[in-house]
Amino acid sequence: MAKFDQPNVHAPNPNLKVWLNGRLVPVGEAAINVFDHGVLYGDGVFEGLRSYGGRVFRLKQHLQRLEDSARAIRLVMPMPKEEMTEAIYRTMEANGIRDGYIRLVVTRGVGTLGLSPNRAGCPSVFIIASQIDLYPRELYEKGMAIVSTSIVRNHPNALSARIKSCNYLNNILAKIEAQDAGVHEAIMYNHCGYVAECTGDNIFLVRNGVVQTPPITAGILEGITRDAVIELVRQRSLPIREMDLTRHDLYVADECFLTGSAAEVIPVTSIDGRPIGNAQPGPVTLQLIADFRELVNREE
């Protein structure tokens, strides 16, 4: 049996209904054309969202970021935000998802061979409402080990990290290094050598009571969870500094944690084999995890 004939052990639930270009279809029928430029060139944009108690957390911000990503790659969104919102909720409902994870993808669409986006017709849109378990549950209590990666984050003038594009190879190469080192996540540095972000999460440190995180100008995704956590830090009247961070700042931090729609807020207790603080999730991190949990359940 040829490799591509073998059953996929990671196949999704066959009952899953996927929203594809205006229709809810069984996952087995939710196929993308091989001539879609999203497949051929990674030419597309996406969002990863979470829902809590049937409400999508910060949906407006996600749809705005999607629109900004699309605009940055000169892709005209094929439907307005209101329709996108309706489609997301319809997909959640069709799959009985209240607490879950939503993937929203817009590709350049089906076209002919050749890089030019003009060779593609109408953008394709699909929505998956399912679950995501990015990191093992126990790491949220014990803390996670991460490593520095040799893969430099995309230069902002090459492919801006602010574009959530369907080309994640920069991050995937870093993720492979993390896995080779036996950990789940890796820190990427930018072209100037400063800390940027992790492969799918933003990074925060705490030192002497000050919360620190790289600025957007470090060449990072403007994380929606990052924004929410900055608000929570301010509500606690803790000092927050968006500042360029070096490897040294990581090693001398009292606490470290990561944020992301999939990861939520997760403590980091070791970096490059070095313990962070006393190698336990710190008090500020634990407070912010509790505050975040409360926020996602409260917010409309």
Q: Which is nearer to ligand PXG, 202 or 269 (CB)?
A: 202
Query: Is-catalytic flag, 164?
Result: yes
Residues that bind ligand PXG (CB under 6 A): 48, 134, 171, 197, 200-202, 221, 223-226, 259-262
Q: Which is nearer to ligand PXG, 44 or 111 (CB)?
A: 44
Contacts of 95 (CB under 8 A, 6+ apart): 16, 17, 129, 130
Q: Where are the alpha helices (DSSP H) in the chain?
A: 37-41, 59-72, 81-94, 139-142, 169-180, 224-235, 247-251, 283-298
Cα separation of 210 and 207, whole Å? 5
- Measured from the CB of residue 115, what is the shortest distance to ligand PXG in angstroms? 24
Q: Which one, of 152, 298, 275, 265, lies nearest residue 218 by Cα? A: 152
- Measured from the CB of residue 189, what is the shortest distance to ligand PXG in angstroms? 14
Asked if 241 and 211 touch (Cβ cutoff 8 Å), the reply is yes
- Measured from the CB of residue 18, what is the shortest distance to ligand PXG in angstroms? 16
Q: Which is nearer to ligand PXG, 148 or 202 (CB)?
A: 202
Q: Which is nearer to ligand PXG, 48 or 123 (CB)?
A: 48
- Measured from the CB of residue 224, what is the shortest distance to ligand PXG in angstroms? 4
Q: Which is nearer to ligand PXG, 19 or 120 (CB)?
A: 19
Asked if 171 and 188 touch (Cβ cutoff 8 Å), the reply is yes
Asked if 52 and 297 touch (Cβ cutoff 8 Å), the reply is yes
Cα separation of 122 and 261, whole Å? 29
Q: Which of 60, 81, 164, 175 is catalytic?
A: 164
Cα separation of 11 and 280, whole Å? 36
Q: 213 vs 55, 93, 145, 209, 222, CA distance in Å?
A: 28, 37, 18, 13, 12
**Residue least distant from ligand PXG (Cβ):** 48
- Measured from the CB of residue 109, what is the shortest distance to ligand PXG in angstroms? 23
Active site residues: 164
